[in-house]
């Protein structure tokens, strides 16, 4: 066995950046993984940062090639609360230099562990986004101030805090955890190794939240195991609504019996007036999925690797029973941050086309063929990348569920990716523009260009033609229903 020659000591905060810098130096000096001892500063007090042999001469000055997907996975593994969180990623990047197909090797033990840890870290980050509960505390300035206590399983605070900074940019907040704290003041995010559990704060909105939770709790839909898997008991102690759950579960059966025995309620008069305009009966054998379940499953989806680098899955938006479903390609940069489809520049083109077609976007269901944003980094910019066939096929599962939920009478497919997902035909749109074709899911489909193509068109006349075609397709759909 080779002796350990390098000891790398990583700080408690900023460990990911420090690891990247150290790993790059080690790779440049061609130090093999078995000769590196990775440690965290507070595990080994007194050792110098970046170890004993940091002055080993650099051999060559080549750049390293690394699949972006692997880099994304590694960022996750660095946050995992396991002893090999630093050594495993280094071994993976070391091996990736020589083994071109390492990433795709499903049977490789290192890559299998990398994927498992990435998944655990993602799940922990997802739970943090779902279960952090802020309480208002005394503010020392003009802005309101909030504090929360959260106990993650992994070292995810630095990686996950930007999500809260984007979402709650108009207030000051701090999230305290046992291993450090994230503080956002006037929109500026900082981290501290010092942590202080907020004193029990009385938040007047908690009662309101408990009342709301009690009212949306549907005893007929109760599945205790599924609920506990989604909301594990370890988080309960910091959730104000958790105290209600045992009582709600215990009384669920009685409430269901009472609901069954109660008189049927009549539909509202407005619903009766709408009946003639409603869609045909459901297709035989089809069972519409529950929307909330479906949306949560999409948010948790890891069917392909696109979830690794995106902020969140972007689910379709619109009424449950929209007559028209509009399917785009995938979320863009702004959609990925906002969690809503078509809110960026392409969305504005789509809105303009809706207006030109005299169609209300809010009456349609707007979604994408692929639910996570595929991109590559150029400097600090996230550049859109077209989804691959395997990603489109993996994500078609969700599109099919959305179609089963909404049961549209007609689908408008925007661009070749949407056409491939909906019809199974991804050939050029130009020749098929405005045609009505048959979807794989049942309803007919109108094929047209994606609004992002308008933005890419250098000639104003061509851009206008695409705008005209897009509005025309929406108008045709509107007339068809």
Return the exposure string of 303-335: e unless at least 16 CB atoms fall within 10 Å of the residue's CB, then b.
Answer: bbbbbbbbbbbbbbbbeeebbbbbbbbbbbbeb
> Residue 103 Cβ, how far from ligand SF4 at the closest point, in Å?
16
CB of 404 to ligand SF4, least distance (A): 16
Q: Enter the DSSP assignment of 89.
A: H
Per-residue contact track with ligand SF4, 394 to 413, x per CB under 6 A? xx--x---------------
Query: Applying CB under 6 A, does 422 fall inside the site for ligand SF4?
Result: no
Please report how close the Cβ of residue 240 comes to ligand SF4 at its closest, in angstroms. Answer: 31
Which whole-number Å values give the CA distances from 342 to 108, 163, 168, 286, 398, in the listed order?
Answer: 39, 20, 22, 29, 18
**Contact present, 453 and 475 (Cβ < 8 Å):** no
Cα–Cα distance, 419 to 23 (Å, whole number)? 43
* 44-52, 163-171, 240-248, 370-378 -> range binding ligand SF4 (CB under 6 A): 370-378
Least gap, CB of 297 to ligand SF4 (angstroms): 9
Candidates 6-14, 27-35, 369-377, 433-441; binding stretch for ligand SF4 (CB under 6 A)? 369-377
Q: How far is the CB of 310 from ligand SF4 (least distance, A)?
A: 7
Total chain residues near ligand SF4 (CB under 6 A): 15
Site for ligand SF4, residues 257 to 316, rule: CB under 6 A: 298, 301-304, 306-307, 313
Whether the CB-CB separation of 27 and 94 falls below 8 Å is answered with yes
The DSSP bridge pattern shows strands 188-192 and 410-414 to be unpaired
The residue among 33 and 341 lying less far from ligand SF4, judged by its C-beta, is: 341
Distance CA 290, CA 252 (A): 19
Under the criterion CB under 6 A, does residue 370 sit at the interface with ligand SF4? Answer: yes
Of 177 and 311, the one with the shorter C-beta distance to ligand SF4 is 311
CB within 8 Å of 462: residues ≥ 6 apart: none
**Nearest-5° angle of CA 348, CA 349, CA 355?**
90
In the complex with ligand SF4, the residue whose CB is nearer, 6 or 391, is 391
User: Of 4, 159, 27, 18, which Cα lies nearest the Cα of 93?
Assistant: 27
144-183: which residues touch ligand SF4 (CB under 6 A)?
none
Closest CB to ligand SF4 among residues 90, 398? 398
Closest contact distance (angstroms) between CB of 367 and ligand SF4 is 11
Q: Of these, 91, 115, 174, 371, which contacts ligand SF4 (CB under 6 A)?
A: 371
User: Which stretch in 49-57, 154-162, 393-401, 440-448 sits in contact with ligand SF4 by CB under 6 A?
Assistant: 393-401
Dihedral Cα 442, 448, 453, 459, nearest 10 deg? 180
- For 311, 388, 465, the CA distances from 394, given in Å and listed in that order, are 19, 10, 33
Decide if 267 contacts 287 (C-beta within 8 A). no
Query: Is the Cα torsion angle 372, 378, 384, 387 positive or negative in sign?
Result: negative
Which lies closer to ligand SF4 via its Cβ, residue 374 or residue 409?
Answer: 374
Q: How far is the CB of 369 from ligand SF4 (least distance, A)?
A: 9
Query: Which of 391, 417, 423, 448 contacts ligand SF4 by CB under 6 A?
Result: 391
Kindly state the smallest distance separating residue 385's Cβ from ligand SF4, in Å: 12
- Please report the sign of the dihedral spanned by the C-alpha atoms of residue 398, residue 403, residue 404, residue 406: positive
CB 423 within 8 A of CB 432: no
Smallest distance, ligand SF4 to C-beta of residue 332, A = 14
Nearer to ligand SF4, 181 or 421 (CB): 421
Please report whether residue 372 would count as binding ligand SF4 according to CB under 6 A: yes
Is the CB of 156 or the CB of 394 nearer to ligand SF4?
394
Q: How far is the CB of 303 from ligand SF4 (least distance, A)?
A: 4
Site for ligand SF4 in 311-350 (CB under 6 A): 313
**Is the CB of 371 or the CB of 450 nearer to ligand SF4?**
371
- At 179, list the tokens: 């291993």
Nearer to ligand SF4, 255 or 303 (CB): 303
**Segment near ligand SF4 (CB under 6 A); pick from 6-14, 62-70, 364-372, 420-428:** 364-372
Segment 181 to 240, residues that bind ligand SF4, using CB under 6 A: none
State the DSSP string of 25-82. Answer: HHHHTT--GGGEEEEEGGGSTTPPTT-TTTTSPP---------HHHHHHHHHHHTSSS
Nearer to ligand SF4, 298 or 414 (CB): 298
Q: Which is nearer to ligand SF4, 172 or 391 (CB)?
A: 391
To ligand SF4, the closest distance from the beta carbon of 417 in angstroms equals 12
| E-strand stretches of 186-323 | 188-192
Bridge partners of 437, per DSSP, are 445
What token pair was written down for 283? 């297709």
Comparing CB distances to ligand SF4, the nearer of 195 and 296 is: 296
Q: Which is nearer to ligand SF4, 73 or 395 (CB)?
A: 395
Nearest-angstrom CA–CA distance, 15 and 22: 10
Catalog residues that contact ligand SF4 under the rule CB under 6 A. 298, 301-304, 306-307, 313, 370-372, 391, 394-395, 398
């Amino acid at each position: 066995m080779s002796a350990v020659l390098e000891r790398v000591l990583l700080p408690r905060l900023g460990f990911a950046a420090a690891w990247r810098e150290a790993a790059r130096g080690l790779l440049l000096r061609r130090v093999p993984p078995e000769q590196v001892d990775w440690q965290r500063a507070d595990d080994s007090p007194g050792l110098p940062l970046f170890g004993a042999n940091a002055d080993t001469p650099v051999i060559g000055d080549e750049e390293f090639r690394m699949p972006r997907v692997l880099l994304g996975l590694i960022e996750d593994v660095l946050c995992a609360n396991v002893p090999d969180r630093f050594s495993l990623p280094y071994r993976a990047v070391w091996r990736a230099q020589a083994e071109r197909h390492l990433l795709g090797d499903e049977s490789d033990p290192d890559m299998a562990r990398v994927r498992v840890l990435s998944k655990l870290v993602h799940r922990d980050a997802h739970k943090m986004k779902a279960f952090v509960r802020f309480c208002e505390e005394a503010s020392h300035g003009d802005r309101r101030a909030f504090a929360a206590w959260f106990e993650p399983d992994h070292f995810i605070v630095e990686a996950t805090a930007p999500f809260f900074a984007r979402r709650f940019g108009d207030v000051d907040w701090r999230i305290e955890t046992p291993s450090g704290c994230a503080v956002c003041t006037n929109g500026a995010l900082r981290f501290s190794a010092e942590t202080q559990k907020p004193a029990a704060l009385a938040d007047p909105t908690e009662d309101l939240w408990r009342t709301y939770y009690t009212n949306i709790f549907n005893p007929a839909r109760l599945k205790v195991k599924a609920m506990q898997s989604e909301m594990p008991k370890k988080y309960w102690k910091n959730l104000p609504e958790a105290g209600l759950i045992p009582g709600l579960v215990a009384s669920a059966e009685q409430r269901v019996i009472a609901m069954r025995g109660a008189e049927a309620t009549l539909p509202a008069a407005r619903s009766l007036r709408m009946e003639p305009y409603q869609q045909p009966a459901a297709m035989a054998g089809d069972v519409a999925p529950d929307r909330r379940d479906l949306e949560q499953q999409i948010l948790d989806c890891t069917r392909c690797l696109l979830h690794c680098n995106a902020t969140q899955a972007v689910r379709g938006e619109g009424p449950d029973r929209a007559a028209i479903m509009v399917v785009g390609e995938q979320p863009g940069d702004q959609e990925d941050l906002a969690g809503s489809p078509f809110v960026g520049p392409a969305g504005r083109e789509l809105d303009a086309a809706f207006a030109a077609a005299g169609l209300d976007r809010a009456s349609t269901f707007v979604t994408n063929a692929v639910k996570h944003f595929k991109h590559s980094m150029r400097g600090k910019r996230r550049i859109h990348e077209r989804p691959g066939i395997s990603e489109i096929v993996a994500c078609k599962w969700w599109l099919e569920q959305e179609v089963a939920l909404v049961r549209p009478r007609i689908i408008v497919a925007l661009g070749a990716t949407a056409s491939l997902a909906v019809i199974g035909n991804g050939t050029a749109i130009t020749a098929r523009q405005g045609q009505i074709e048959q979807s794989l899911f049942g309803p007919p489909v109108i094929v047209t260009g994606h609004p992002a193509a308008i933005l890419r068109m250098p000639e104003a006349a061509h851009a206008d033609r695409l705008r005209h075609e897009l509005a025309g397709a929406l108008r045709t759909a509107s007339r068809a229903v």
